[in-house]
């Protein structure tokens, strides 16, 4: 049984200056708090944290990690609070314990492959400190070693989770001995028959195997020493799980797994690796396609080695790995091997994903003590992604910065299109909330609500963007079709025909075919957008149609560019109820731009579209400025008519009660109707209020903005 002394001696061996008192204190604290608790095995509970700490000693971790290993179950399983841990051991250790407590609450619920991968990433993303994961792996390893005491159902679940989540996690961090042990232990509980049969079969051939290993070792060592290469050659059975996988994959039984034994040659320098490879290939014939150079191209977990398979002395396949001792240590301990090398180059790895490892090799040159080193070691490996749960426990992956709207569209287009709000971990959040790893998201929908253009600024996934755009586009088509229909109706009426009689789907279908458009709706849209004149379309089903002459006087004021539009529309049109007259242009189709909603009194400018008339923008509208200068026309308000429009006003203020009331008083006292109001709060205790109000002119707006800004607590008020 492991004792406190084993732990202390172990730490001293690799870190002579370590502050062992912290470890002793953690031991006593844990012993006291877990007193009287027993494990399923019947042993005192304390054995578990001690064993976990000892595994961390094997990984040569720092004092804080080992103390946290001893304390890792105190907050989860006893009455100890995190505050208490912090008071006793300081924030660094408390943070580690907190991370472990949080991870222990995650439970892996489904077994689909993609889920497992996301889950692993989520664990990495949540545990910001890599030590949390190393301690978690040690915890899981000891639990797997003592899994026998649990009920079968639980054994299965835990073994499955270990195989899908924790063994790959150990592999990703490059700690191969933990990965192998976790895999073998999982196999033991998931496929006990297979496991014990393999154990027996491997044992039966033990003598034979040892003789064989000896023979191959001697051949290799002798050959290499002829070339003055000093080497350590070892041969070992592959771990059971990898034998099992091989049998499964190749559909063969145990007798036919030839490369059961893997040989490893450790040499002193990197060039010797390649030299050794050449020598091996001159002794035994290599199997084509089996050579891999992980030295020139290391694996993502930084594993480096040369791999080859050759035909051995009895015509059997032998797998051989060649590497330096330093590469070997990294292969065995992965990330944990790092701080043992004060100098020594680490080769290039996957630049993007392992940036942190590069930074780390820089730091470690300056650091003397592993704890310092470890504390700076943060995982930003998956910083670009967040992993969140659906209410049913599925994991979904999003790019960083994603909001509930992205989530809603990932669930279903309909959910996205009717999304009105979201709950994160049971609490209501604004739609601009940025998802965090580990959040459980629930979307609130309302059938009568629809996407708006500003959602495009809130979403980051291309799926959500595309869906919102397609919704808006659909809406624009509807509008276009509506305008087209009324243009055609007016033209028919003017010519003395009944729109209801002639604007039928039969006629429009005929027009669509003739104009090579997909649907009758497209015909309306094309007319609405001015691609075709109404007369062009009507003549398709009414060949005799002559459009009526415009009444005298109506076109008198046309000039220049305007005449060009009028050629398309001929008759003056005023489609929108709120169309406004603009001086100098006469009666022409006027549309008020939606981007800047100009009001009488605002400086304005017009933009010409053929067949669509003039669109009036505010003179400072950025959209207008980006347009072709040639199509701009000077316009001005001819008279101030009674015109009511909705505009948006943005007020930024302190997030405190009562202010909203004061602000709405400003509107009501000016007899201004609030059509819609939205309030969002920011992390810096500000509130952003968007009021949609109905106003009739610009001076009215100026007045309320002034009044709003006078309210104490209001930072700014502006028209959107």
Half-sphere exposure of 290 (CA within 13 A, CB side): 17
Give min distance, CB of 387 to Mn ion, in A: 23
CB-nearer residue toward Mn ion: 73 or 522: 73
For residue 260, what are its two tokens? 């059961």
The torsion of the CA quartet 518, 519, 520, 521, rounded to 10 degrees, works out to -110
Instruction: Tell me if 324 sits within 8 A of 298, measured CB to CB.
Output: no
Give min distance, CB of 8 to Mn ion, in A: 21
Which residue number has the CB closest to Mn ion?
139
Candidates 71-79, 308-316, 338-346, 477-485 — which segment interacts with Mn ion by CB under 5 A?
71-79
CB-nearer residue toward Mn ion: 139 or 697: 139
Active site residue 77: yes
Active site residue 350: no
Candidates 32-40, 135-143, 152-160, 513-521 — which segment interacts with Mn ion by CB under 5 A?
135-143
CB-nearer residue toward Mn ion: 159 or 429: 159
CB-nearer residue toward Mn ion: 85 or 503: 85
Give min distance, CB of 145 to Mn ion, in A: 12
Contact letters for Mn ion, residues 179-198 (x by CB under 5 A)? --------------------
Instruction: Tell me if 533 sits within 8 A of 554, measured CB to CB.
Output: no
Phi/psi of residue 529, nearest 5 degrees:
-90, 0
Instruction: Tell me if 286 sits within 8 A of 308, measured CB to CB.
Output: yes
CB-nearer residue toward Mn ion: 135 or 441: 135
The torsion of the CA quartet 415, 418, 421, 427, rounded to 10 degrees, works out to -40
Give min distance, CB of 89 to Mn ion, in A: 17
Binder of Mn ion out of 139, 181, 491, 522 (CB under 5 A) = 139
Give min distance, CB of 272 to Mn ion, in A: 43
CA–CA dist 413, 431 (Å, integer): 16
Could you say which residues in the range 201-240 bind Mn ion, by CB under 5 A? none
Contact letters for Mn ion, residues 477-516 (x by CB under 5 A)? ----------------------------------------
Give min distance, CB of 373 to Mn ion, in A: 25
DSSP labels, 648-706: EEEEEEES-TTHHHHHHHHHHHTT-EEEEEEEEE-TTSEEEEEEEEEES-HHHHHHHHH
Enumerate residues 6+ apart whose C-beta is below 8 A from 163.
Answer: 182, 183, 186, 187, 190
CB-nearer residue toward Mn ion: 50 or 405: 50
Candidates 139-147, 332-340, 365-373, 583-591 — which segment interacts with Mn ion by CB under 5 A?
139-147
Candidates 73-81, 146-154, 298-306, 551-559 — which segment interacts with Mn ion by CB under 5 A?
73-81
CA–CA dist 572, 574 (Å, integer): 7
Give the number of other Cβ atoms within 10 Å of residue 375's Cβ. Answer: 16
CB-nearer residue toward Mn ion: 143 or 403: 143
Candidates 138-146, 369-377, 528-536, 573-581 — which segment interacts with Mn ion by CB under 5 A?
138-146
Sign of CA dihedral 482, 488, 492, 497: negative
CB-nearer residue toward Mn ion: 76 or 369: 76
Q: How many residues sit in the footprint of Mn ion (CB under 5 A)?
A: 2
Candidates 35-43, 70-78, 161-169, 537-545 — which segment interacts with Mn ion by CB under 5 A?
70-78
Give min distance, CB of 48 to Mn ion, in A: 6
List 6, 19, 77, 86, catalytic entry: 77
Enumerate residues 6+ apart whose C-beta is below 8 A from 569.
Answer: 487, 533, 534, 588, 589, 611, 613
Candidates 65-73, 260-268, 625-633, 647-655 — which segment interacts with Mn ion by CB under 5 A?
65-73
Residue 51, interface with Mn ion (CB under 5 A)? no
CA–CA dist 129, 167 (Å, integer): 19
Place of tokens 């054994």: 155
Place of tokens 């006078």: 710
CB-nearer residue toward Mn ion: 55 or 585: 55
CB-nearer residue toward Mn ion: 70 or 579: 70
CA–CA dist 412, 418 (Å, integer): 10
C-alpha 188: how far from its chain's center?
Answer: 35
Candidates 66-74, 477-485, 543-551, 626-634 — which segment interacts with Mn ion by CB under 5 A?
66-74
Give the CA distances from residue 714 to residues 76, 571, 650, 652, 676, in Å, rounded to whole numbers and listed in that order: 46, 50, 11, 6, 19
Binder of Mn ion out of 51, 73, 183, 319 (CB under 5 A) = 73
Give min distance, CB of 139 to Mn ion, in A: 4
Instruction: Tell me if 385 sits within 8 A of 398, measured CB to CB.
Output: yes
List 6, 76, 454, 692, catalytic entry: 76
Among 341, 346, 455, residue whose Cα is nearest residue 407: 455
Give min distance, CB of 73 to Mn ion, in A: 5
CA–CA dist 216, 685 (Å, integer): 72
Instruction: Tell me if 695 sits within 8 A of 647, measured CB to CB.
Output: yes
Give min distance, CB of 466 to Mn ion, in A: 45
Half-sphere exposure of 348 (CA within 13 A, CB side): 4
Give the number of other Cβ atoms within 10 Å of residue 28's Cβ. Answer: 12
CA–CA dist 607, 592 (Å, integer): 10
Beta strands in 535-665 (DSSP E): 590-592, 604-609, 613-618, 632-633, 645-654
Give min distance, CB of 143 to Mn ion, in A: 6
Instruction: Tell me if 263 sits within 8 A of 232, measured CB to CB.
Output: no
CB-nearer residue toward Mn ion: 126 or 579: 126
| Residues with a known catalytic role | 76-77
Interface residue list for Mn ion (CB under 5 A): 73, 139
């Amino acid at each position: 049984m492991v004792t406190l002394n084993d732990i202390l001696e172990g730490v001293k061996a690799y870190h002579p200056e370590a502050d062992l008192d912290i470890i002793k204190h953690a031991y006593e604290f844990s012993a006291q708090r877990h007193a009287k608790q027993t494990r399923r095995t019947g042993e005192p509970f304390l054995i578990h944290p001690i064993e976990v700490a000892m595994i961390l000693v094997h990984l040569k971790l720092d004092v804080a990690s080992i103390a946290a290993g001893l304390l890792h179950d105190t907050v989860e399983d006893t009455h100890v609070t995190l505050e208490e841990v912090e008071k006793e051991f300081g924030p660094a250790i408390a943070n580690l314990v907190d991370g472990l407590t949080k991870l222990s609450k995650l439970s892996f619920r489904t077994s689909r492959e993609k889920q497992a991968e996301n889950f692993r990433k989520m664990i990495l993303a949540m545990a910001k400190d890599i030590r949390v994961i190393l301690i978690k792996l040690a915890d899981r390893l000891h639990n797997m070693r003592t899994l026998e005491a649990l009920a079968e159902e639980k054994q299965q679940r835990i073994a499955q989770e270990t195989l899908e989540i924790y063994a790959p996690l150990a592999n990703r961090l490059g700690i191969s001995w933990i990965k192998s042990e976790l895999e073998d232990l999982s196999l033991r509980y998931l496929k006990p028959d297979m496991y014990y049969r393999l154990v027996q079969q491997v044992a039966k051939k033990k003598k034979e195997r040892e003789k064989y290993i000896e023979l191959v070792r001697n051949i290799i060592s002798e050959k290499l020493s002829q070339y003055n290469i000093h080497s350590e050659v070892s041969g070992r059975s592959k771990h059971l799980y990898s034998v099992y996988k091989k049998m499964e994959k190749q559909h063969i039984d145990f007798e036919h797994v030839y490369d059961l034994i893997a040989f490893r040659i450790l040499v002193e320098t990197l060039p010797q690796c390649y030299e050794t490879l050449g020598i091996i290939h001159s002794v035994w014939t290599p199997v084509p396609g089996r050579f891999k150079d992980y030295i020139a191209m290391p694996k993502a977990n930084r594993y480096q080695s040369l791999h080859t398979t050759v035909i051995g002395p009895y015509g059997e396949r032998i797998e051989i790995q060649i590497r330096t001792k330093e590469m070997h240590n990294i292969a065995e301990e992965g990330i944990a091997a790092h701080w043992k090398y004060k100098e020594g180059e680490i080769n290039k790895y996957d630049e993007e994903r392992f940036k942190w490892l590069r930074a780390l090799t820089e730091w470690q040159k300056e650091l003397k003590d592993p704890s310092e080193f470890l504390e700076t070691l943060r995982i930003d490996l998956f910083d670009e992604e967040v992993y969140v749960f659906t209410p049913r426990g599925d994991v979904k992956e999003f790019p960083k910065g994603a909001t509930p709207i992205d989530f809603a569209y990932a669930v279903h287009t309909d959910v996205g299109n009717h999304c009105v709000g979201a709950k994160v971990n049971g609490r209501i959040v604004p739609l601009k909330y940025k998802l965090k790893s580990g959040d459980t998201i629930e979307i609130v929908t309302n059938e009568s609500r629809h996407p708006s253009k500003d959602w495009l600024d809130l979403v980051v996934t291309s799926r959500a963007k595309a869906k919102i755009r397609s919704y808006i586009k659909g809406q624009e088509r509807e509008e276009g079709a509506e305008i087209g229909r009324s243009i055609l109706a007016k033209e028919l009426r003017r010519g003395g025909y009944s729109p209801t009689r002639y604007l039928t789907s039969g006629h429009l279908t005929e027009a669509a075919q003739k104009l090579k458009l997909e649907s009758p709706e497209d015909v309306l849209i094309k007319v609405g957008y001015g691609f075709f004149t109404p007369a062009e379309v009507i003549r398709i089903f009414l060949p005799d149609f002559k459009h009526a002459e415009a009444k005298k006087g109506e076109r008198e004021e046309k000039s220049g560019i305007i005449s060009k539009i009028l050629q398309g529309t001929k008759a003056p049109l005023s489609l929108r109820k709120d169309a406004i007259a603009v001086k100098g242009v006469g009666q022409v189709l006027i549309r008020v731009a939606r981007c800047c909603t100009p009001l009488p009194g605002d400086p304005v400018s017009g933009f010409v579209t053929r067949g669509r008339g003039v669109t009036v923008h505010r003179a400072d509208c950025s959209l207008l400025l980006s347009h072709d200068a040639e199509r701009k026309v000077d316009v001005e308000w001819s008279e101030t008519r009674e015109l009511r429009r909705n505009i948006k006003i943005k007020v930024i203020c302190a997030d405190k009660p009562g202010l909203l009331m004061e602000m709405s008083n400003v509107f009501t006292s000016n007899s201004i109707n609030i059509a819609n109001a939205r309030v969002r709060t920011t992390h810096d205790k500000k509130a952003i209020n968007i009021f949609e109000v109905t106003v009739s002119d610009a001076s009215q707006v100026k007045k309320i903005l002034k009044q709003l800004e006078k309210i104490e607590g209001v930072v700014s008020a502006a028209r959107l």
